[in-house]
Chain A
Amino acid sequence: MGSYILKRLLHGAFVLLAISLVVFFALRLTGDPVMAIMGQGNPTQEAVDAMRRSLGLDLPLWKQLFKFLGDLAMGNLGTSFRNNQPVMPQIVERMPATLTLAGAGLFVSLLVAVPVGIISAVRRGGFLDIFGRIFALIGISFPNFFLGIMLMLVFAVKLRWLPASGYQGFKYLILPGLTLGLILSSIITRLIRSTMLDVLRAQYIQTARAKGLSERLVIFRHAFRNAMIPAVTFIGLQLGALLGGTVILEQVFSWPGVGRLALDAISNRDFPLVQGSVLILATVMVIVNLVVDLSYGFLDPRIKVGGKGA
């Protein structure tokens, strides 16, 4: 188990190195950050050259790359081109907002997807199944920013039940959390429905029923638990989409998270801040993937993570 985790962490480090190289080169294809910083001030050529020197952008690309990797190895993500502050604390400061929103989205999606998915499977072809499938289809077809603005118009502008945007307490979380959760729940609903249908056809379910167990016990103890394994893998993979979804919704709901920070940094060509944000989000993804793999053992005792005798 220990060596498995070590191997996976090493693997994760390589993934992060590859990502950092891709981000480094991709950013340098996007244009001159000096003009993005000074452009509004209508600067002279001398001022632009001086700024380029002070940001180290006059160095050859390979020197910039080695400096970046060297700093990274020391855990230093660099200093923002815009406000001259270290990048790491700026990102760490934003993480709670993003994780809160992603957590709320996940919570809402499971709250909706698990019952709807199970009912759709158990009452296959029935009214509730059709309703569940239509719900899932709508969710998949809706862009999240559109759903967000619609929910805002209904619950904030028309009904005045909730604040439209901002970050000041629980009620401010409801609309963005609901938007993110509903979109994600539609995909998870479909997955739970199909895996439940597979499991319900399995022989051990017939055995359980033949033993005279109640339908509730058959569904929840035997069927649902087994249906959860592919669902957990899928949800783990969807966390990437969840964090991606927060980028847009943070903008729509004026939510001060890492996504919005990264988005601003991209349009400002603030290279260190973009590199830092991408690397931190990628690190979160690597860790989540590891946790998902480890959770299989918890869900199904027959699976021994990293072992030979599964």
Chain B
Amino acid sequence: MDIGILEKGFQQHVDAEKKIEAKDWMPEKYRNTLIRQISQHAHSEVVGMLPEANWITRAPSLRRKVALLAKVQDEAGHGLYLYSAAETLGAERADLVEALNDGSAKYSSIFNYPTLTWADIGAIGWLVDGAAIINQVMLQRTSYGPYSRAMIRICKEESFHQRQGYEMMLTLCNGSPEQKAMAQDALNRWWWPSLMMFGPTDKDSPNSALSMKWKIKRKSNDELRQDFVDNSVPQAKILGITIPDPDLKWNEERGHYDFGTIDWEEFYNVIKGNGPCNRQRVEARKTAWEKGRWVRDAAVAYADKKKNKEKDAA
């Protein structure tokens, strides 16, 4: 069949708000864009375990420890669903992991920042999960069925994580002066990197138009970022801590908060691998993978032996 006819049918299907499923015809670029996006999302979940896992052994109460362990475990689970969603498009998980380990695949820039105090764990839950949810709520309606369904499931857990993180911040802000200072310091360090999570401005985001046309995305980076700022300002007020942006103010005319300029030089440097923890994060993933090689080999060898034994017995 003529590719033009297929493309037209595909677009009509998308425009009619119908989901594309794994076996449906799709433009190669749609497939590749999704594999890239979903695998980056999966890598972000897996790399995102590291900065939070950094505080599991130091959590200040058994209740907090159990909650943090469960949260990081949820992220591993999200990584699994997302790798599976990428596999429905013909990608191999082993190849995707390889790309993460050799540094060619990207993941969310936010996880290249260090968790220096316990308040950072609260700030990640509040801001980083908060930013992720804004993006993921939109992605629940993405045009690719398996991705959309994975997002619906993930969003439920993420909103729980966000509430948990905010409640941690609230406890710190109602605690001793040292604890409140810890919360303010965490907000100072995580605010701008959280805004960067939505990616470049719309004018510098060349792939966005096509993603919108195919309804992979439904809102632009700047729209999502604005939603995040509008949500966060009243939350910071309740906490009684200050967002580190002197230009932040309510704009009556727009019905939104205006905010200052993001340091894009920092953003592009972190993306390129020069962030404070890029090397440690990739190194940690690589080490885990390499140290686990003999384990995976043993599992395969044992399964083969067992299969042969069963064959001989038959």
Chain B binds chain A: no
